[in-house]
Amino acid sequence: MKKHQMRLGTVIKALCLLSVISASEVYAASLDDVLGVRSSTTVEGAKSQAKIDKVTDQTRDLLQQFKTVMKVVDGLRVYNQQQRRLIKNQEDELAELEESIDNVTVIERQIGPLIEKMIVNLEKFVELDIPFLISERRERIEFLKDTLDRADVSVAEKFSQVLQAYQVENTYGTTIEAYTDVIELEGKSRQVDMLKWGRVSLVFQTPDAESTGVWNNETRQWVMLPDEFRTGVRDGLRIARKTQTADLVHLPVSAPGE
């Protein structure tokens, strides 16, 4: 009986030992499986993280490219707005130029007759004015007449020449001049010294100072002056030639009419 109990205890111990060994083996196998799964999960996680990081970097690059493109787009938008305003202004200027060209055509048709009328009036004025530098002034008017019929001279140049002639005539009223001329005295041609004092007096004196006269624009002829004007005319000639300082001179002046 005792032997039987001893054997049974030995068997039970053996079974317990086998159970512990089997449990240990089972635990070891389960741990290896868990570690293997974790290791596999870690590797897969690393791969997934790498993919995520790569996608993130690509997304960041795309975002930076997008921002750069948007800056270019904004710049182009502003540039296009400026160009549209510029084009609008150019179109307005073009319309004004076209209108100006049309107006110039109309004005050009009108300015031709105006220039001709100005020349005619200037010629009448010269002929009615006191006859100082008469040859020079008549030659200027003939030049204007010849230029008027020239096709190689622009309308603008013709108009400019007429205006210059008017300006020259205007300056005569504020200048004094001395020059030599030939006039008719008592049916004879005489060379005399002429003195133009603005447009208020045109007098002459012979080189020997024996004869002194003045132009009467009402009668359109020369009138001899008494000796009291001889010195005044002589001094006026000297002042005009800048051989004598400016001073008061005694000259005949026609009374203003109505």
> What is the predicted pLDDT for the residue at 12?
53
In-domain check, residue 231: yes
**Interval 227-252 mean pLDDT:** 94
On whether residue 185 sits in a domain, the answer given is yes
The answer to whether residue 97 is domain-embedded is no
What local confidence, expressed as pLDDT, does residue 73 receive?
A: 85
Percentage of the chain with pLDDT > 70?
Answer: 82
Whether residue 212 lies inside any domain: the answer is yes
In a domain, 209, yes or no: yes
Domain count, the chain: 1
Q: Residue 96 pLDDT more than 50?
A: yes
Query: Which of the two residues, 50 and 120, has the higher pLDDT score?
Result: 120
**pLDDT for residue 202 is more than 90:** yes
Range(s) of the domain holding residue 188:
175-253
User: Is position 37 within any domain?
Assistant: no
Predicted structure pTM score: 0.59
229 in any annotated domain = yes
Instruction: Indicate the average pLDDT of the chain.
Output: 84
Please write the tens of the pLDDT for every residue from 18-70.
454 555 554 555 655 655 655 666 777 777 777 887 888 888 888 888 888 88
Specify the higher pLDDT residue, 185 or 179: 179
Does residue 194 form part of some domain?
Answer: yes
Which residue has better confidence, 231 or 20? Answer: 231
Pairing relation of β-strands 212-216 and 188-197?
unpaired
